[in-house]
């Protein structure tokens, strides 16, 4: 509700100010005591929100994208921008949140109650029911003042009980205040004596005491305490104050007239001077609420000239009831933030503010085209750089080795679940230290034993929980990126009127909506083509501090009605490659789109053999003819059978989660309820439009719309909201043509007209289809609504971006996305990543990894399903993992992966005796197995090898084992393959695979043990090689298998029976089982199984060969004094000659050139006797303990180092992150 307050205890206000102000400096929202008023700047200065912007990277699967925290989940200004495989597809994916500004009067039934006959009105509108309406509801006497310019035309009064019910419900909509301003009321009379004479006759002697009226109205607080309108009125009437039915406290606060371009005139609220809950209309554009008669009514007045009248029963009357949030103080001026006309008291949301109608509103970040997008509606939450992510590490520090960031990039990073260095810190009073914490959510766990989980169904929230113990928690995907943003800076998206330099050209405004979102990145094969985004939306309008230091609605906030949320998507197939934007690839005008909505039935996730119904609804965008820029060819939307190439595919957006419907909804407009009240809304509107004519531009072909000097349409906010909710009311023919594409053979009056979903079957017939280009520049809005969001409430959304090589591939991925959504965005998990390190020599690289993967469990099934390891090799940093001959294709010709350099798996005997679920692991490596009810065996009892039954283009292995090399003709008896010797190529990879299990584990300089070693002799010195060692599982075997068993006493009869499979005792993925799952190869050296190595002679290096590891160094926030010297950074391959005991000099500097520490390798070797520097398998290494020349711990940050030896010098850098 909108609240006006009429007195203020200044002493109390000062106390509140002193208590609240410091909190405002420390937190983005503030708890405000009731009864305070918002003074400009009272709650502090928020500063520049640009300083809180940060960036995230989703790089795990085929889908790779940068993510931002200012409303554009994906932006063409940040790279990678929706990259799939080798090319970029997405220019913008942006969050939308919209509310209406008013509700059209025509949705209510109105009756004329004034005496003037109007022949143009229908009988239903021209006379009020005689048994329901009191004829005292009449117009006032215009002749009394002699100032009515409309007197020759007259006015008509209409009343509606339906409007009252919508406005007030069962409550009184009013407030205790001065009934009518004394100046306004007495201005109707020639002088004060006439005014007093008129009112004295009614026994209201105090009404016209001009000098005492303000004093009398100070008693309105006493009046308010009386509790009801009648008592208040009778008590306070003599004092000039009383209960006024001004709509305060209801769903609406005013009546709007002349609504055009989402602007209009606020009506005047009039109330009788002599009767409570009564009115006297004395001019047009007035309104009042009356509760004296039955039924209660809202009344309004309109002018008419003979037969011309604005009938509120018609949409063309352009009359509406104004929502509280759309009535705000007018703009005063623009500075660092916008100032508003708060009246003489300078208090926001009080009676003397200069209120105007702002209209509908949509928070978005996609429209601006100003460099850097500083004026987006969404901006990071206040102080996000401390509350949601860390500034201690930059994008170049973590992702400088990838194609998507330079090593010198200094952009702040959002919180990444895989990299704790990006997490914010909080003070831990127990330890007296700042501790990093994950600001986002964790994966939910399904548990039938929960008290409210009555039917043990994964469909119900009551059967899921997040573990309380930190050690039991896990993240949702392989890398979750968390962000928070809100709309408090929405005003900066408005242009100031050029002609007057005052007032807004558009009138977007902050709603106090906060968004907490997480983007999820998956490297596993079943989800590598999908990017999920989960969103929580909060109504913080009562606590969110605005840029001018005030609170919305004086700290009361707003209960929003008929909200709609959704997403704007601009896909250009294509727009770039893995290296960034490319003009040669960017061909947006030759794209096309389709819409898919259907229902599928899949095996139930409950493992009971039943099926689940799932609704698929998504918009697809691809290249029209299959030929893009740069000579690339791919999937054709025009002729899918043409198959011009496989360079690119198609992309789609699918809405998954949504708020609940507040009423039954017939989306199809066919008389059938599609969504019942209480069900999830899902997607309720989908509209496409040509980018050149996007909402907000003037005309239909403004390429510059959104730039600083380009004009914009006045109704930009209203147009966007109407697109979001499928409302064509009072739009121009041009606007309907641009934004609503229903069946062109129908108009909006046709009963089959559907304004909610655009028709794409006739898309080629529209004027937007460019015959020269044979395509369109397609953009779309996909939304869900309407729903209500009260102060303090939250709701949920989620969507996913899906890619596919062709339409069938994409639909298959979409169906699996729906399955993952039903499992809380989770699927079967691969074994844990192996931890990989490397050593090298001339012409040789050795990979060493541990066996942790073998004891890991699937998070869904609880099975210990490890099967083997795969080793991959790359010469381009991991962009590819081999040549064209190493690509693996499925039966449809779609690339599904890469052929590994080597593969090792369990032997047949090991498979058969492997625990189905490991319960305990002992220090010697022995295990105990979990038992399952109904099964005598607790081991697999089956061989796992050969092609995967579900995805036969991949092999599960050849039963190689880990300690048996491939058989060979060992002519020289060295147990190694030499050039020319024959061997049995079990792995079918063209190379001889030695045993990987070593007699003695490899031990690194930190004392960590690695059980496996793989030797690669096919390397050249000086070349950077990238390796990945992955672990994969056996998949899920069908719960039942058909076997022939002996029947009868003779033992000669065999019958086929269904026998339970002991390797799947809980019956998952019934009836067919599920494909194997492999951990992703990784994308950066920060991931355990991803490593880059250079071969060469050990101990003979130049200054340019020095390598710093780890880089960045990621440590804890504090250290144990007893162990502080174990915190080390290694400088490997340092030049040193043991014969002459001469070595390199290493110096550490800050970025400002300040010397931090310096030492000589030879001196350290001699003095420290290899305690802090040692010669290992990596040659000569020197270790620095992160302390300065003053023996003080160095601060986190970026540092330079210089290596000098024999007249040569080299400079590098490294980062230290807490």
- The closest alpha carbon to 1070, from 1079, 1082, 1058, 1080, belongs to 1058
Instruction: State the pLDDT at residue 1057.
Output: 72
- CA 21 to chain centroid, in Å, comes to 31
The whole-number pLDDT of residue 217 equals 38
Q: What is the average pLDDT score of the chain?
A: 79
> Could you tell me which residues come within 8 angstroms of residue 359 by beta carbon, excluding any fewer than 6 positions away?
101, 102, 262, 263, 326, 507, 715, 717, 718
- Per mean pLDDT, which of 370-379, 453-462, 680-689, 1140-1149 is the most reliable? 370-379
pLDDT at 439 exceeding the cut of 70: yes
> Binning pLDDT at 50, 70 and 90, where does residue 602 land?
low
State how far the Cα of 743 lies from the Cα of 765, in Å rounded to an integer: 11
Task: Tell me the C-alpha distance between 1057 and 225, whole Å.
Answer: 81
Whether residue 1168 is predicted with pLDDT greater than 50 in this model: the reply is no
Residues 6+ apart with CB under 8 A from 1156: 1148, 1149, 1150, 1188, 1189, 1194, 1199
Residue (of 593, 575, 572) closest to 766 by Cα position: 593
Closest CA to 307 of 104, 150, 122: 122
Query: What's the chain's Rg over C-alpha atoms?
Result: 36
Task: Kindly state the helix (H) or strand (E) to which residue 426 belongs, with its residue range.
Answer: strand 425-428
Strand partners of residue 426: 435
Quick one: average pLDDT of 1195-1211? Answer: 83
Determine the average pLDDT of the residues in 658-670.
79
Among 338-342, 562-566, 643-647, 1076-1080, name the one with the lowest average pLDDT.
643-647
Averaged pLDDT, 784-810: 93
Q: In the predicted model, is pLDDT for residue 240 greater than 50? A: no
Q: Scanning the structure block, which residue is given the tokens 């912007």?
A: 53
* Res. 38: pLDDT tops 60: no
In this structure, of 471-485, 898-912, 964-978, 1133-1147, the range with the lowest mean pLDDT score is 964-978
Contact present, 697 and 539 (Cβ < 8 Å): no
pLDDT computed for residue 1125 by the predictor: 36
What is the DSSP pairing of strand 464-465 with strand 445-446? antiparallel
Q: Which residue has the higher pLDDT, 933 or 1116?
A: 933
Residue 1020 near residue 1095 (C-beta atoms within 8 A): yes
Contact 444, 820 (CB under 8 A): no
Segment 694-706 shows an average pLDDT of 74
Which pLDDT does position 867 carry in this prediction?
96
Residue 183 has pLDDT above 80, yes or no: no
Residue of 592, 434, 444, 418 whose CA lies nearest to 57: 418
User: What pLDDT, on the 0 to 100 scale, is given for residue 873?
Assistant: 96
* 3-class secondary-structure state, position 1078: strand
Lowest mean pLDDT among 120-129, 553-562, 1035-1044: 120-129
Q: What is the mean pLDDT of residues 1168-1178?
A: 38
How far is it, in rounded angstroms, from Cα 394 to Cα 387?
Answer: 17
Report which of residues 1138 and 949 the model is more confident about.
949
Q: Are 421 and 393 in contact (CB under 8 A)?
A: yes
- pLDDT grade for 617, boundaries at 50, 70 and 90: confident
Assess contact for 59 and 575: CB atoms under 8 A: no
pLDDT value, residue 218: 40
| CA–CA gap between residue 82 and residue 801 (Å, rounded) | 9
Q: What's the pLDDT at 139? A: 44
Counting Cβ atoms within 10 Å, is residue 143 exposed (0-12), middle (13-18) or buried (19+)? exposed
Bond before 562 cis per omega within 30 degrees: no
- Distance of alpha carbon 304 from the chain centroid: 51
Q: For residue 604, name the pLDDT band (cuts at 50, 70, 90).
A: low
List strand residue ranges (DSSP E) for 487-590, in order: 513-521, 530-539, 560-577, 580-581
Per-residue pLDDT at 70? 95
Q: Say what the pTM is.
A: 0.79
> What's residue 345's pLDDT?
84
**Structure confidence at residue 743 as a pLDDT band (50, 70, 90):** low
Q: Give the mean pLDDT of 797-802.
A: 94
Question: Tell me, what's the pLDDT at 6?
Answer: 29
* DSSP element (H, E) containing 347: strand 347-348
Residues 6+ apart with CB under 8 A from 353: 329, 340, 341, 342, 343
Rounded-to-integer distance, Cα 528 and Cα 82, Å: 13
3-state secondary structure of 473: coil
Quick check: 488 pLDDT over 80? yes
11-15, 212-216, 788-792: which has the highest mean pLDDT?
Answer: 788-792
Q: Torsion-angle region of residue 696: left (phi > 0), alpha (psi -120 to 50) or beta?
A: left
Average pLDDT on 14-37 reads 34
- Read out DSSP for 779-835? EEEEEEEEEEE-TT-EEEEEEEEEEESSHHHHHHHHHHHHHHHHTTS--PPPPPPPP
Q: Inform me whether the pLDDT recorded for 108 exceeds 90.
A: yes
* Confidence category of residue 1212, pLDDT binned at 50, 70, 90: confident
pLDDT for the residue 1131: 84
pLDDT of residue 55: 96
Instruction: Report the pLDDT value the prediction gives residue 389, as an integer from 0 to 100.
Output: 95
Q: Report the distance separating Cα 669 and Cα 685, nearest Å.
A: 12
In whole angstroms, what is the distance from residue 559 CA to residue 542 CA?
10
What's the mean pLDDT in 216-231? 41
- How distant is the alpha carbon of residue 821 from its chain centre? 15
Question: Which pLDDT score is estimated for 22?
Answer: 26
- Stretch among 28-37, 493-502, 1123-1132 having the lowest mean pLDDT: 28-37
Summarize the confidence of residues 1185-1199 as an average pLDDT.
85
Within 8 A by CB and 6+ apart from 89, the residues are 82, 83, 571, 572, 573, 574, 575, 648, 651, 803
Mean pLDDT on 751-768: 73
End-to-end CA distance of the chain: 47
What's the Cα-to-Cα distance from 1087 to each of 26, 156, 896, 922, 1084, rounded to whole Å? 35, 75, 22, 27, 6
Chain centre to alpha carbon of residue 43: 28
- Average pLDDT of the segment spanning 716-727: 94
How confident is the model at residue 985, as a pLDDT?
Answer: 66
Q: Binning pLDDT at 50, 70 and 90, where does residue 972 land?
A: low
Place of tokens 């419907």: 661
* Cα–Cα dist 216/235, whole Å: 12
The residues with which 580 forms a beta bridge, in sequence order, are: 577
Task: Report the pLDDT averaged over residues 555-578.
Answer: 93
pLDDT in tens, 862-895: 899 999 999 999 998 888 999 999 999 998 888 8
User: Is the confidence at residue 2, as pLDDT, over 60?
Assistant: no
pLDDT at 776 over 70: yes
- Integer CA distances (angstroms), 775 to 83, 572, 589, in order: 22, 11, 6
SS3 label, residue 670: coil
What is the three-class DSSP state of 358? coil
pLDDT of 834 strictly over 80 = yes
Strand duo 268-269 + 286-290: pairing = parallel
- Distance in angstroms (rounded) separating the CA atoms of residues 1112 and 1131: 13
pLDDT of residue 4: 33
The 10s digit of each residue's pLDDT in 273-324 is 445 445 567 788 999 888 776 788 898 988 876 567 889 999 889 999 999 9
Whether 783 has a pLDDT exceeding 90, the answer reads yes
Which element (helix H / strand E) includes 1203? strand 1197-1205
Query: What percent of the chain shows pLDDT beyond 70?
Result: 76
Inform me whether the pLDDT recorded for 978 exceeds 50. Answer: yes
Query: What is the per-residue pLDDT for 175?
Result: 65
Q: Does 331 score more than 80 pLDDT?
A: yes
Can you give the pLDDT at residue 648? 95
Closest C-alpha among 153, 164, 72, 74 to residue 111:
164
d(CA 971, CA 938): 45
Q: How many CB atoms lie within 10 A of CB 668?
A: 13
Query: What number of other Cβ atoms are within 10 A of residue 124's Cβ?
Result: 10
Chain CA centroid to CA 2, Å: 30
What's the rounded Cα separation, in Å, for the pair 776 and 212? 70
* DSSP assignment letter at 68: E
Q: Return the H-helix or E-strand segment holding 1091.
A: strand 1090-1094
pLDDT recorded at residue 481:
98
pLDDT interval class at 597 (50, 70, 90): confident
Which pLDDT score is estimated for 795?
A: 94
Q: Measuring CA to CA, which residue among 257, 313, 382 is closest to residue 112? A: 313
């Amino acid at each position: 509700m909108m609240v006006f307050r009429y007195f203020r205890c200044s002493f109390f206000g000062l106390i509140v100010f002193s208590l609240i102000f410091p909190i405002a400096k420390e937190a983005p929202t503030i708890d405000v005591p009731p009864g305070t008023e918002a003074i400009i700047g009272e709650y502090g200065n928020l500063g520049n929100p640009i300083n809180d912007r940060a960036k995230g990277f989703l790089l795990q699967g085929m889908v790779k994208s940068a993510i931002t925290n200012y409303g554009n989940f994906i932006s063409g200004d940040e790279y990678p921008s929706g990259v799939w495989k080798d090319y970029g597809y997405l220019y913008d994916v942006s969050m939308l949140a919209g509310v209406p500004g008013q509700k059209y009067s025509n949705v209510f039934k109105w009756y004329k109650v004034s005496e003037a006959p109007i022949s143009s009105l229908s009988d239903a509108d021209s006379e009020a029911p005689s048994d329901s309406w009191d004829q005292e509801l009449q117009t006032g006497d215009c002749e009394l003042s002699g100032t009515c310019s409309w007197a020759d035309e007259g006015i008509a009064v209409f009343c509606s009980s339906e409007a009252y019910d919508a406005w007030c419900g069962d409550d009184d909509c009013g407030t205790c205040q001065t009934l009518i301003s004394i100046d306004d009321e007495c201005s109707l009379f020639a002088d004060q004596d006439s005014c007093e004479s008129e009112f004295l006759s009614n026994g209201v002697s105090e009404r016209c005491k001009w000098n005492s009226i303000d004093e009398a109205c100070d008693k309105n607080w006493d009046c308010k305490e009386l509790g009801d309108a009648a008592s208040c009125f009778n008590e306070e009437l003599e004092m000039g104050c009383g209960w006024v039915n001004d709509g305060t406290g209801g769903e609406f606060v005013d009546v709007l007239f002349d609504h055009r371009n989402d602007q209009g005139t606020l009506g005047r609220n009039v109330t009788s001077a002599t009767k409570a809950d009564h009115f006297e209309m004395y001019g047009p554009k007035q309104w009042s609420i009356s509760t004296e008669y039955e039924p209660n009514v809202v009344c309004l007045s309109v002018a008419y000239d003979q037969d011309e009248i604005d009938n509120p029963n018609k949409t063309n009357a352009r009359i509406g009831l104004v929502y509280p949030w759309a009535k705000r103080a007018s703009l005063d001026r623009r500075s660092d933030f916008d100032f508003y006309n708060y009246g003489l008291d300078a208090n926001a949301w009080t009676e003397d503010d200069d209120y105007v109608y702002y209209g509908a509103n949509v928070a978005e970040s996609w429209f601006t085209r100003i460099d850097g997008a500083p004026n987006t509606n969404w901006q990071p939450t206040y102080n996000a750089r401390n509350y949601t992510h860390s500034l201690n590490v930059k994008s170049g520090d973590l992702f400088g080795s990838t194609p998507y960031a330079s090593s010198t990039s200094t952009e702040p990073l959002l919180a990444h679940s895989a990299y704790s260095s990006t997490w914010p810190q909080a003070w831990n009073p127990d330890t007296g230290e700042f501790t990093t914490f994950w600001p986002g959510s964790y994966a939910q766990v399904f548990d039938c034993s929960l008290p409210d989980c009555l039917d043990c169904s994964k469909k119900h929230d009551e059967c899921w929980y997040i573990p309380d113990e930190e050690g039991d928690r896990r993240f949702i995907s392989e890398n979750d990126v968390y962000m928070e943003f809100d709309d408090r800076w929405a005003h900066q998206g408005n242009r100031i009127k050029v002609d007057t330099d005052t007032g807004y050209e558009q009138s977007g405004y902050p709603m106090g909506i906060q968004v907490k979102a997480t983007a999820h990145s998956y490297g596993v094969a079943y989800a590598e083509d999908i990017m999920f985004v989960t969103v929580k939306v909060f109504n913080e309008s009562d606590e969110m501090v605005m840029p001018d230091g005030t609170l919305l609605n004086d700290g009361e906030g707003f209960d929003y009605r008929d909200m709609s949320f959704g997403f704007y998507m601009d896909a250009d197939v294509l727009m770039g490659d893995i290296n960034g934007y490319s003009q040669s690839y960017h061909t947006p005008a030759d794209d096309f789109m389709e819409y898919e909505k259907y229902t599928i039935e899949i095996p139930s996730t409950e493992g009971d053999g039943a099926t689940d119904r799932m609704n698929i609804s998504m918009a697809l965008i691809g290249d029209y003819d299959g030929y893009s820029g740069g000579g690339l060819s791919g999937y054709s939307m025009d002729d899918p059978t043409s198959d011009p190439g496989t360079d690119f595919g198609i992309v789609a957006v699918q809405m998954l989660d949504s708020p609940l419907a507040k009423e039954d909804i017939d989306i199809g407009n066919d008389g059938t309820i599609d969504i019942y009240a209480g069900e999830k809304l899902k997607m309720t509107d989908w509209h496409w439009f040509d980018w050149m004519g996007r909402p907000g531009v003037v005309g239909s072909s403004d390429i510059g719309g959104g730039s600083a000097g380009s004009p914009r349409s006045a109704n930009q906010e209203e147009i966007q909201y109407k697109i979001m909710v499928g409302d064509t009311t009072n739009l121009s023919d041009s606007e309907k043509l641009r934004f609503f594409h229903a069946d062109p053979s129908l108009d909006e009056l046709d009963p089959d007209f559907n304004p909610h979903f655009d028709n794409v079957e006739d898309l080629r017939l529209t004027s937007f289809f460019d015959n020269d280009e044979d395509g369109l520049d397609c953009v779309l809005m996909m939304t869900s609504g309407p729903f209500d969001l009260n102060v303090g409430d939250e709701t949920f959304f989620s969507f996913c971006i899906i890619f596919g090589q062709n339409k069938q591939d994409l639909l298959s991925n979409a169906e699996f996305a729906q399955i993952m959504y039903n499992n809380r965005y989770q699927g079967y998990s691969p074994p844990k990543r192996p931890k990989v390190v490397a050593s090298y020599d001339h012409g040789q690289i050795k990979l060493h990894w541990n066996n942790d993967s073998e004891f890991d469990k699937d998070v869904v099934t609880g099975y210990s399903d490890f099967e083997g390891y795969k080793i991959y090799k790359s010469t381009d940093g991991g962009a590819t993992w081999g040549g064209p001959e190493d690509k693996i294709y499925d039966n449809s010709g779609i690339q599904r992966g890469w052929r590994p350099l080597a593969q090792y798996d369990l032997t047949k005997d090991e498979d058969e005796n492997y625990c189905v679920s490991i319960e305990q692991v002992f220090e010697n490596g022995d295990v105990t197995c979990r038992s399952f009810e109904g099964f005598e065996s607790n081991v697999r009892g089956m061989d796992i090898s050969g092609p995967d039954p579900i995805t036969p283009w991949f092999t599960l292995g050849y039963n190689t084992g880990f300690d048996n090399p491939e058989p060979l003709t060992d002519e020289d008896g060295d147990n190694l393959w030499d050039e020319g010797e024959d061997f049995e190529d079990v792995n079918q990879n063209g190379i001889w695979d030695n045993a990987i299990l070593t007699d003695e584990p490899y031990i690194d300089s930190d004392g960590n043990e690695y059980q496996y070693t793989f030797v690669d002799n096919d390397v050249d010195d000086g070349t950077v090689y990238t390796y990945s060692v992955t672990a994969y599982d056996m998949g899920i075997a069908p719960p039942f298998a058909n076997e022939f068993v002996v029947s009868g006493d003779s033992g000669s009869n065999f019958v086929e029976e269904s026998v339970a499979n002991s390797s799947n005792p809980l019956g998952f993925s019934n009836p067919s089982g599920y494909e194997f799952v492999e951990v992703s190869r990784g994308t950066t050296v920060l991931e355990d199984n991803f490593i880059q190595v250079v071969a060469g002679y050990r101990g003979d290096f130049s200054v340019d060969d020095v390598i710093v590891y780890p880089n960045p160094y990621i440590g804890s926030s504090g250290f144990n004094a007893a162990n502080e010297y174990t915190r080390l950074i290694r400088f490997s391959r340092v030049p040193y000659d043991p014969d002459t005991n001469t070595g390199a000099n290493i110096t550490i500097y800050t970025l400002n050139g300040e010397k931090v520490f310096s030492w000589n390798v030879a001196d350290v070797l001699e003095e420290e006797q290899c305690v802090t520097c040692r010669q290992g398998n990596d040659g000569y290494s020197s270790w620095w303990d992160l302390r300065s020349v003053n023996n003080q711990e160095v601060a986190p940050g970026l540092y330079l180092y210089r290596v000098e030896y024999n007249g040569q010098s080299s400079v590098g850098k490294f980062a230290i992150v807490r």
